[in-house]
Amino acid sequence: MWAFIKKEFLHIFRDPRTMVILFGLPLAQVLLFGFAITNDINNAHIAILDHSKDVVTREITRKLLSSHYFLLNRYLKSDADIKPAFRKGEVKEVLVFERDFARKLQKEGVAKVQILLDATEPNTANILDAYTRGIINTYVLQRMKQSAAIPISIGVQNKMLYNPQLKSVYMFVPGVITVLLMLVSAMMTSISITREKELGTMEALLASPVKPGHIIIGKVVPYVVLSFINLISILLLSVFVFGMPIQGSIGLLLAESLLFLTMALALGILISTVSKTQQQAMLLSMFALMLPTILLSGFIFPVENMPVVLQYLSDIMPSRWFIIILKNIMLKGVGITYFWKETLIIFSMALLFIGLSIKKFSVRLEE
Amino acid sequence: MSVNIHIEHLVKKFQDVEALKDISFDVEKGSLFGIIGPDGAGKTTLFRILTSLILADEGKVMVDGIDVVKDYKKLRQIIGYMPGRFSLYMDLTVEENLNFYARIFHTSLSENYDLIKDIYEQIEPFKNRRAGDLSGGMKQKLALSCALIHKPKLLVLDEPTTGVDAVSRKEFWELLKKMQQRGITILVSTPYMDEAALCDRVSLMQTGNLLSVNTPQQIVNNFLGNLLAVKTNNMYTLLSDLERFDGADRVYRFGESIHLVSQRPIDEVKQSLRDFLSIKAYQKIEIENKQPVIEDCFLALMEKTGTL
């Protein structure tokens, strides 16, 4: 069996392409997701059309711009400038203050400000809207307190738990870990087993007294080791580059990852037993594993927002449960009692896949 | 330590193609048994059934009393199998390949060195080269070493010399002879008829049928009719003209000449053939008596079954 493991390592280290997939891809993905693909809004360009230009509007503008969310693109001169500004794509938001803003506020207690948003990116528009409203409301409340104009007020205090700055890295890292463990484990094992079939080396192996179990273990062990190295480098990256916390126990995190890995590897072996060529194995892993892992697991799109049918489909995605576990450990820092159900689901999936692949692994050549 | 093979009424179908049609034969202990046949004859299918890699539809195979279906685990301990397609790891070196096969059979290179010494000495200068970079002949020698590393009692070689140059082929067969002397039963297939003469017993296989199992000598002795080799100044039209010659049973290209088989008395045929060709204005007519070699016999056998 050691001979097998050693041989498999040699295969991996001698094939530059495999090395790239194994090590280059994970790191690239983490960096990509961490830096580029982010929902956080920083420095959104806005324009301001101020018909009033008084103390209050200037104060509000100053407050808006002093948050790091907004960056003043320019002041507009008239209503006619608004459309072109949006069309050119220079700004995401235009703020319009009505005439005599301060005076109306003072006299009538009501002044109007209009927020125009570029909704070609609905999420961004929503977030910008909320931020702008928030800042304006804060200003109004402060002002009223100063003048003691209102007899009663309800102070809403919100606190974002587990991810106070709403960093999307916190959301992506568990997802990326899941996708990568799935990719490396399932795809690489399925490819490496089908490669033996395709190159005809399986024929020689089967004619020898080596046990099928040994073939499988020999194939799996190197990928477990490499995936673990990968996992640790992703964790290090996310902690030291993105400041991602690991609140819970690292031991538990690694143990759960090992369980998930086992499940993914068993799935990979299962794929290899049904595919005849490396290409087939790769396509199967891509479509059956990668895409659902990314799209249906709640990694990018919240499961609760999906149509019911897709929600059911998402239930059978092992990655969905693993992401929950990861978030629980890393962000909430809770113990196994809070996610034993998810663990159990992955455990039974692992058992199912191992059972199936042992049953399907043929001691003879398929015809 | 050697083993015999007993094959009985073997039938194998792939969808609607009958790859093996009721095949039975025996291989004696310690013999070198050759199966000769063109591509698609069913040689690989037969070998895969014999090595327990695929299952037959009907019939049974016993290797030294071991049923290849029921006791496949036992069988796999005692056979050395070299598939038709090069089946070693191209990205591993010669030495790594050998060590790997030694390890999966729970043995080591040094333990069985005396057995593969003759072969290994020829490939040793390249031991740090990757298998993928070896020449065709070297690859086959490496594959043979790997198949031998666990001292098998039966060696099954599927077209080991296909795509190998003439010198390496000769060397390869010499190695096989040496292995046979060590008591290993050898079953080998080849598309090259000239290699048949090197076996103890040969059988011709064609479209799933086994034709005549015999010693090469006996096969030649059983040749019916007289064989003539014909050469003229114009070889291009000769074949089609000879086909129209009355006394000819069979006419076929053979090396540089054309072979003609006739059942009529030899001198009479020679004379009438010479006349026939003269009328057709051929010059430099050479007609020779020939002792049939095994290829002639196989061509005759194949024609008799009406498949050529």
User: If you average pLDDT over every residue of chain B, what do you get?
Assistant: 87
Query: For chain A, what is the HEC assignment?
Result: CHHHHHHHHHHHHHCHHHHHHHHHHHHHHHHHHHHHCCCCCCCEEEEEEECCCCHHHHHHHHHHHHCCCEEEEEEECCHHHHHHHHHCCCCCEEEEECCCHHHHHHHCCCCCEEEEECCCCHHHHHHHHHHHHHHHHHHHHHHHHHHCCCCCCCCCCCCCCCCCCCCHHHHHHHHHHHHHHHHHHHHHHHHHHHHHHHHCHHHHHHCCCCCHHHHHHHHHHHHHHHHHHHHHHHHHHHHHCCCCCCCCCHHHHHHHHHHHHHHHHHHHHHHHHHCCCHHHHHHHHHHHHHHHHHHHCCCCCCHHHCCHHHHHHHHCCHHHHHHHHHHHHHHHCCCHHHCHHHHHHHHHHHHHHHHHHHHHCCCCCCC
Q: Tokens representing A121?
A: 């990116």
Q: Tokens representing B213?
A: 């199992």
Among B182, B213, B244, the domain-final residue is B213
Pick the CATH number of A44-147 from 3.40.190.10, 3.40.1710.10, 3.40.50.150, 3.40.720.10: 3.40.1710.10
Among B157, B190, B213, the domain-final residue is B213
Based on the domain organization, do B208 and B233 belong to the same domain? no
Neighbours of A106 (CB within 10 A): 13
User: What's the pLDDT at B200?
Assistant: 92
| For A363, nearest residue in chain B (alpha carbons) | B53
User: Chain A contacts of B51, Cβ < 8 Å?
Assistant: 207
Based on the domain organization, do B272 and B142 belong to the same domain? no
Q: Which residue has the higher pLDDT, A304 or B68?
A: B68
Q: Determine the residue among A6, A7, A199 to mutate to test chain B binding: the one whose Cβ has the most chain B Cβ atoms within 10 Å.
A: A7
Beta B185-190 vs B286-289: how paired, if at all?
unpaired
Based on the domain organization, do B169 and B260 belong to the same domain? no
Helix (H, G, I), strand (E, B) or coil at B111: coil
| For B150, nearest residue in chain A (alpha carbons) | A208
Based on the domain organization, do B175 and B276 belong to the same domain? no
CATH number of residue B229's parent domain: 3.30.70
Instruction: Show me where the domains of chain A are located.
Output: 44-147, 167-360
- Number of structural domains, chain B? 2
**pLDDT tens sequence for chain A (367 residues):** 778 888 888 888 888 888 887 788 777 877 777 776 666 677 888 999 998 888 888 888 998 888 878 888 889 888 888 888 888 888 889 989 888 888 888 888 788 889 999 888 887 888 888 888 888 888 887 877 777 655 556 666 777 777 777 677 777 788 888 888 887 788 888 888 888 888 888 888 888 888 888 888 888 888 888 888 888 888 888 888 877 888 888 899 999 999 998 899 888 888 888 888 888 888 888 887 778 888 888 877 778 888 888 888 888 888 889 999 998 998 888 888 889 999 999 999 999 998 888 788 777 876 5
Mean per-residue pLDDT, B68-74: 90
User: What's the pLDDT at A309?
Assistant: 87
The counts of H helices and E strands in chain B are 10, 14
Q: Residue A326: which of A120, A172, A221 has the closest Cα?
A: A172
| For A195, nearest residue in chain B (alpha carbons) | B89
User: What's the pLDDT at B308?
Assistant: 44
Of A6, A10, A204, the CB nearest to B87: A204
Q: What is the domain range of residue B234?
A: 224-291
Residue B11 DSSP code: E
Question: pLDDT-based confidence at B130, cuts 50/70/90?
Answer: very high
User: Chain B contacts of A3, Cβ < 8 Å?
Assistant: 99-100, 103-104
Name residues whose C-beta falls within 8 Å of residue A14's C-beta, 6 or more positions apart in sequence.
B91, B92
Based on the domain organization, do B282 and B181 belong to the same domain? no
Among B188, B213, B238, the domain-final residue is B213
What angle do helix axes B166-181 and B113-123 make, rounded to 10 degrees? 170
Work out the burial of residue B302: count CB atoms within 10 Å of its CB; fewer than 13 is exposed, 13-18 middle, 19 or more buried.
Answer: middle
Cβ pair B54:A15 closer than 8 A:
no
Is B306 among the domain residues? no
| For B50, nearest residue in chain A (alpha carbons) | A207
User: pLDDT, tens digit, for every residue of B240-266?
Assistant: 888 888 878 888 888 888 898 888 888
Is B298 among the domain residues? no
User: What's the pLDDT at B34?
Assistant: 93
Q: Whole-angstrom Cα distance, residue A354 to residue A113?
A: 63
Q: Looking at chain B, how many residues does it have?
A: 308
Q: Which residues of B touch A (CB under 8 A)?
A: 14, 48, 51-55, 72-73, 76-77, 79, 81-83, 85-92, 96, 99-101, 103-105, 146-147, 150
User: pLDDT, tens digit, for every residue of B84-106?
Assistant: 888 889 999 999 999 999 888 88
What is the distance in angstroms between the Cα of B188 and the nearest Cα belonging to chain A?
16
User: pLDDT, tens digit, for every residue of B169-219?
Assistant: 998 999 899 989 988 999 999 988 888 888 999 988 888 888 878 898 888
